[in-house]
Amino acid sequence: MEALLNTPVAMPCLAAQQKPRVAAQAAHLSGLRRSSIKGSQVACRRPSLAKQRLVAPVRAVAAVEEETKVDEKTAMLAINAVRFLSIDGVNKANSGHPGLPMGCAPMGYVLYNEYMQHNPKHPKWFNRDRFVLSAGHGCMLQYSLMHLTGYESVSLDDCKQFRQWESKTPGHPENFETEGIEVTTGPLGQGIANAVGLAASEAHLAARFNKDGHKVVDHYTYCILGDGCNMEGISNEACSLAGHWGLGKLIALYDDNKISIDGHTEISFTEDVNARFEALGWHVQTVKDGNTDLDAIRKAIDEAKSVTDKPSMIKVSTLIGYGSPNKADTHGVHGSPLGADETKLTREALKWPYGEFEIPNEVYDAFSAAGKKGKAVEEEWNKTLEEYCGKYKEEGEEFKTLINGVLPDGWADELPTFTEKDKPLATRLHSQTMLNALAPVLPGFWGGSADLAPSNMTLMKMYGDFQKGQYQEKNLRYGVREHGMGAIANGIALHNPGMIPYCATFFNFTDYMRGAIRMAALSRAGTIFVMTHDSIGLGEDGPTHQPVEHLASFRAMPNILMMRPGDGNETAGCYKIAVLNNRGMNQKGYGRPTILALSRQGVPNLPGTSKEGVEKGGYIVHGGDGKPDAIILATGTELGLAVDAAKELESDGKKVRVVSMVSWELFEEQDQQYKVRSLLG
């Protein structure tokens, strides 16, 4: 602390040493006890068995917390270690954003080492708290925290390889590259929207599975976002929904450093963010000194956790590049390394006597608290889960199936088969049939539309609406918020392996949500995008609602399946493939999203289509014998027209083959022999 008080730069600091965290810890543990026994009716002094089960784990964890307490001087040493590990990583890469980690190190330390429920040795433990760095450009903050708390996925050597080819520390957090990263962030606003999806998943599963005395789903979602995230429209869309849903276990810390790449935010961003979030239905607080006032950060998080019916926004005022004598509070530290000279001055200013990438043992010792507490919490949760499964066998079996991502036996058999005698229908209506066929058999299957459910045909008829107070329901009402919808659905997909979210709008309006769709592909999130009104066959709506270039653009997007079924059988086949790809059950071996382009107009059920054919991406539906004179490739509503055209040509003596190319991507993955045989025979 003395080092901070004597720092020769203009930055806020405290006039006295921080007080020990005894009161905050007591309040935190008291809050845990209160939330654990909420609703219990105890008529005598002796605790009930249910209460004993709940209090015992809290006491066990409290004992570990007491044992691993870190004094304030050591805490500030650990915070400076985060700052300089971030500075050194960016300097070595000669690329990156050191300013945010330098300003956010205190809140990062408090979260990772004191508040978050996580086990660095088991990053995928189900009941962990989730953390999202929405301001992904500051990712050396997260890499430093992960390394120091003991995540094996981020070694010190990995920190030295920041932004290098094939490193585990890429220039923005990537969930598919670094274990312990929950979601991929970088495009601003996507992360906070993903966090809404993560928090919605927790609320949904808690409502479905928790029983009196047995809370198997009980975790928070924390998010650090910046000025840029708050400027992006997607954040407002998603946070509006979070407020409407009352997601009380979502806690966002806003790094209010008032700097963007162009300079001070006063040139373009002067709104009252707190007032906006209050209007959105959030609980809002301000920490005036996020650079040194650890107790204020702790108090704010404690208060946020005590508010259970609203998400919380904590505006934390920080100095970007804190400690840098010449670059703090400037855009010069936003997206450029400090450089050797300024780093030397910063070391002197913060009295950091250690060399490049040198971390004293007492810092590692201080950060070991996270792992010890996480291990204890996970062990207690495992006991709770075992008791739960013993008492509630059916629910326990379903819960384990869901969190482990296991598909129930025979689930695909629920998808119907059609013949040419069945009534012609729009593929959006076939889609509705598939959604309602899968809803009862896939425990993690849920979703909704951007205010177009009656047009997209996406309601699951046996369930109600996911709303505040009825989180167990499965129909999500996103309102007219396409971009927020897509990113929230991605967060749901990435919450645990069993989640199979879908979201829907008109195909043309994918333009509003392309960023979220691209992030789904990059993140390997198995979101199912149900897009109806897929062609110029719309008629009276006119060109504003008629997608023309969209099919080609999504076929050009890597790691996404663009599927356009031509009838009922193909729609069923597309849903089967979409679910399998959500699980990574494909040639790639990892998840990928699916876009279903569905028609408004009716189409006939063709004699040559099949669910099995869809699995190949392209297959012969007409004229399979011998060598053809002509081959027609078609998808969707044009498939039936192509078969009619083939018959017309055949009446003139031509031999014509029709190939349904329902998914170019799947067809491309087939072996060369199959592709040649399908086209040429």
Which residues belong to the active site? 482
Number of neighbouring beta carbons within 10 Å of residue 588: 12
Listed in sequence order, the residues at least 6 apart from 411 whose beta carbon sits closer than 8 Å to its beta carbon are 438, 441, 442, 579
Number of neighbouring beta carbons within 10 Å of residue 344: 11
Tell me, what DSSP letter sits at residue 128?
P
For 557, the enclosing helix (H) or strand (E) is: none
* DSSP reduced 3-state for 365: helix
The number of angstroms, rounded, from the C-alpha of 433 to the middle of its chain's C-alpha atoms is 28
Q: Dihedral of the CA atoms 283, 288, 293, 295 (nearest 10)? A: -30
DSSP string, 287-337: ES-TTT-HHHHHHHHHHHHH--SS-EEEEEE--TTTT-TTTTTSGGGTSS-
Contact 484, 197 (CB under 8 A): no
Cα 308 to Cα 302, 468, 477, 512, distances in angstroms: 11, 11, 22, 32
How far is Cα 407 from Cα 415, in angstroms, rounded to an integer? 14
Of 488, 493, 483, 485, nearest in space to 590 by CA = 493
Of 588, 590, 519, 559, nearest in space to 184 by CA = 519
The number of angstroms, rounded, from the C-alpha of 30 to the middle of its chain's C-alpha atoms is 30
DSSP string, 88-111: HHHHHHT-S--HHHHHHHHHHHII
DSSP string, 178-244: STT--S---STTHHHHHHHHHHHHHHHHHHHH-BTTB-S----EEEEEEHHHHHSHHHHHHHHHHHH
DSSP string, 477-493: E--S-HHHHHHHHHHHH
How far is Cα 218 from Cα 203, in angstroms, rounded to an integer? 9
What would the two tokens of residue 397 be? 């079996």
Contact 75, 109 (CB under 8 A): yes
Q: How many residues does the chain have?
A: 681
The number of angstroms, rounded, from the C-alpha of 512 to the middle of its chain's C-alpha atoms is 19
Classify the C-alpha dihedral 595-596-599-603 as positive or negative: positive
The 3-state secondary structure of 227-284, one letter per residue:
HHHHHCHHHHHHHHHHHHHCCCCEEEEEEECCEECCEEHHHCCCCCHHHHHHHCCCEE
Tell me, what DSSP letter sits at residue 543?
G
* DSSP reduced 3-state for 364: helix
How far is Cα 229 from Cα 577, in angstroms, rounded to an integer? 34
Contact 327, 314 (CB under 8 A): no
What would the two tokens of residue 257 be? 């450093």
Of 428, 448, 659, 662, nearest in space to 534 by CA = 428
Cα 602 to Cα 295, 430, 550, 610, distances in angstroms: 63, 10, 21, 18
